[in-house]
Structures are given as C-alpha cells and as structure tokens.
C-alpha cells in the first residue's frame, strides 16, 4: 500500500524547513551588514514601492501596531524612513523611505539577490521553476 502522491514524508518537511533557515540566514547576514534586523529589512522592502500607513505595515508583517510604532521609531532615528500625515484622514500616519532608505534598500536587495542566487547556484533550471510554483501556491495557502 502506497501513500498518495501529495502526502509528504517527514524528510520532505524537513528539507523545506532547512531550506527556509538557509534563506533566513542569508537575510540575517545581509541585514547585519547594515546593522539592521530582518524585520527592518522587510519594512524597507515594503517601502520600495509603497507609502503605506502604520496599520498597513502591521498587517503586511503580521505585527501588532505598537510593534510597528517602535520599528518606525528606530528606522526614523537612523534616517531611513519618515512619517508623514495623511491629507485625507488626520488619524493616519504614512511611512515613506528617505533617499537614504531607498539607497540602503537597493543595496540590501542586491545583496539578498546575490546571496539567494548562490544558494540556488548549480541547481537545474527545471528544479528552480518547480520551487517558484510551490512558493506561489504556498504563499496563497499561508496568506
């Protein structure tokens, strides 16, 4: 009697978890090079193409709103982001990257790309495409 195709063995689960930690290690190292946490790095990533409200950042990162307050406080103190009031809702605070924030964000993105590429280096293209498919589905599930 065989298990069905889409039931995973512990080995497969383990592989995915290990892979995840390998990726996180890349992120942690890149962040540390700029004296940032992975969370700060993620926030800068968000700000690359958006000017979200505090609450939107919290929703995206799945953090408490008060956690985002602290996060933005520290990033602002480093001159990476700036708070700006909304013009349509006086309760709302928008967060945007400063020039320096954008610059650091770009450097980080490049370093992360290099680091992840080196993880994938040597793997056959079809395997990598399979990962992209799996990721797309997993993200839908996790969201």
Partner DNA sequence: TTACTTTAGTTGGTGGCACCAACTAAAACA
Partner DNA sequence: TGTTTTAGTTGGTGCCACCAACTAAAGTAA
Contact footprint for a second copy (CB under 8 A): 5-8, 10-13, 15-27, 62, 112-113, 116-128, 130-139, 141-142
Of 76, 81, 82, nearest to 101 by C-alpha is 81
Name the binder of 116 from a second copy, DNA, none, CB < 5-8 A by kind: a second copy
With contact defined as beta carbons under 8 Å apart, do 65 and 114 qualify?
no
Q: Interior CA angle at 123 toward 25 and 104, to 5°? A: 40
Task: Tell me which residues touch DNA (CB under 7 A).
Answer: 36-37, 39-40, 53-56, 62-74, 83, 89-94
Instruction: Pick left, alpha or beta for residue 137 (phi over 0 → left; psi -120 to 50 → alpha; otherwise beta).
Output: alpha
Which one of a second copy, DNA, none is in contact with 25 (Cβ closer than 5 to 8 A by kind)? Answer: a second copy
Q: How far apart are CB 89 and a second copy at their closest, in Å?
A: 30
Q: Which is nearer to DNA, 63 or 116 (CB)?
A: 63
Which of DNA, a second copy, none does residue 72 bind (CB under 5 to 8 Å by kind)? DNA
| 49 HSE (CA, 13 A, CB side) | 1
DSSP codes joined into one string, 81-124: EEEEE-SS-TT-EEEEE-HHHHHHHHHHHHHHHHHHHHHHTTS-
Residue 70's binding partner out of DNA, a second copy, none, with CB under 5 to 8 Å set by partner kind? DNA
- Looking at the Cβ atoms of 92 and 116, the one nearer to a second copy is 116
């Amino acid at each position: 009697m065989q298990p069905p195709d889409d039931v995973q063995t512990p080995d497969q689960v383990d592989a995915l978890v290990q892979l995840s930690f390998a990726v996180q290690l890349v992120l942690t190292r890149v962040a540390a090079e700029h004296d940032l946490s992975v969370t700060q790095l993620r926030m800068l990533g968000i700000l690359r193409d958006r000017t979200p409200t505090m609450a939107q950042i919290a929703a995206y990162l799945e953090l408490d709103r008060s956690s985002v307050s602290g996060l933005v406080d520290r990033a602002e103190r480093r001159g990476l982001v700036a708070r700006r009031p909304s013009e349509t809702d006086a309760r709302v605070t928008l967060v945007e990257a400063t020039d320096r924030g954008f610059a650091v964000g770009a450097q980080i993105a490049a370093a992360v790309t290099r680091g992840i590429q080196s993880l994938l280096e040597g793997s056959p293209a079809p395997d990598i495409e399979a990962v992209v498919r799996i990721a797309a589905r997993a993200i839908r599930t996790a969201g």
